[in-house]
Structure 1
Amino acid sequence: MHYTHIQWEVDQGIARLTLNRPDKMNSFHADMHAEMRHALDLIQTDTAIRVLVITGAGRGFCAGQDLADPEVRFTPGETPPDLGDVVERQYKPLIMRLRNLRVPTLAAVNGVAAGAGASLALACDMVVASHAASFMLPFAKIGLIPDTGCSWHLPHRIGQARALGLAMTGQKLSAQQAAEWGMIWEAVADDAFVSRVQTLAQQLSTMPTQALARTRQAMQSASSHTLEEHLSYEGMLMRELGQSADYVEGVSAFLEKRTPRFTGA
């Protein structure tokens, strides 16, 4: 598939998906959704890919939904389109692909992440933001709720009091404040941002991929389990991972005092 609205590259196990509508602050529309879904599906079948980095072209990460997109556009006086249908067809499949991806995901937030753009970043396993970046949830200002999984991910990350405050006021949150609140992994000085993202992506690409994906799965399932249920769930995942080639390699490398060579198997 030829991509127009995203850039896609894979190098030494690191896949980079760059939202590529810089003139629109990389805002979502139907064609970009389709390209992103296609790229994420490629990861599920290409075992050479060990980590996914998502970032934005130009000066912003993603400004959310493009309100000029025919799927959501309407003229005052007309009946607005069914936004629930757009969520079901476009945003839900995107977030579920990210949640179930076989590799770890890293959002490299290089500028403004607003609306569904902030939600996209929060759907990734880890978020690194430059000091120039900021996060905004302006949904309430146009009579909507935070979507694209934001109303699920945000309270889990920073608690309900702060999540509600951000959602109800639409206040801009700096990258540094987001890191202090535990909303993202870290905020990095602008001149160190690219190298930090690369270093972290390289680190993740050499780790046991299946174990990282199962770690995500365990932590995201915890809130729906009792402690007893979750202990059994952990046991199920440990049983699976304990039979993996990466576990054998990890233990062997530890005993032999050498660097492990994980393959994701």
Structure 2
Amino acid sequence: MGDAEAFTREFLPLYRPVPPAQPGVCRICHSGPNNADDTGGPWDTCASCKRTTKNLYGHTKHVVPISLTAKDTQLYDVVVYKRDAFGSAGRRKRSDFLTATVTHFYQRHADCLQGLAGGPFTLVTTIPSTRDERPLEAFHTMWQVVGGVDALARLHRPLLEADDKLAPVLADRWSHRDAFRIRGDGLAGARVLLVDDLFVSGAHVQSAASALIEKGAGAVVALVIARVINPESKDPYSARIWQESRDRPFSFDRCCVCAKRDDFLGRVAATTA
């Protein structure tokens, strides 16, 4: 698309920074984990990721949300309820907002994402809807969003097809090895960027990643626009993560991947000074 940085500038108050993986932040999805019974300290993964990575052929260890969100926010309304975004310049089309968001983030953090994959991506795909839509209609608006991102459009292939019979399983926040089928071949050793709009439990993302890995993908990195977090969760971390996220200004210059690297380098520099 055009100037994604200028487009997203008016919407900066809608986004919330995502914390890097660390004690008290899930290393997969960047939400708040529960405490381990034996130590009282936080698990390195949250209960949801523990559940949705079980009984699969494989799963992605790398989920990179662009922003956190909660259910009472405009970003959640735009992503979930398919409402247009409203910024300082007025109403903007939802699809344009999502495309600008992914474009601007990828412009800033392609190296971060590719570093997780072990090299440049060879394929980009999106997660289809699990509703009874056939065949191309099943690929919801994220395939159009990716098609509007110049750096990703040339690598995009509609690889995944949902098995509607397993939609209730995913809706109950359980992953399933057979929830998605792969269209075509040619995945041997592929480095795949899996793009989706919303990460709630990880059931869709991990089921899709499993299908890609089973067909030969060498690496799968999930890029999601928003990771839903529950500030009222009983675990002691989610409310803190959300409050800290609200207290810090969002910037496209920093993501949960490079933030972890920069924090580590800062600690190293402090100890060697």
When normalised by structure 2's length, the TM-score is 0.25
More helix by share: 1
Higher normalized contact order (CA 8 Å, seq sep 6+, divided by chain length): 2
TM-score, normalising length: structure 1: 0.25
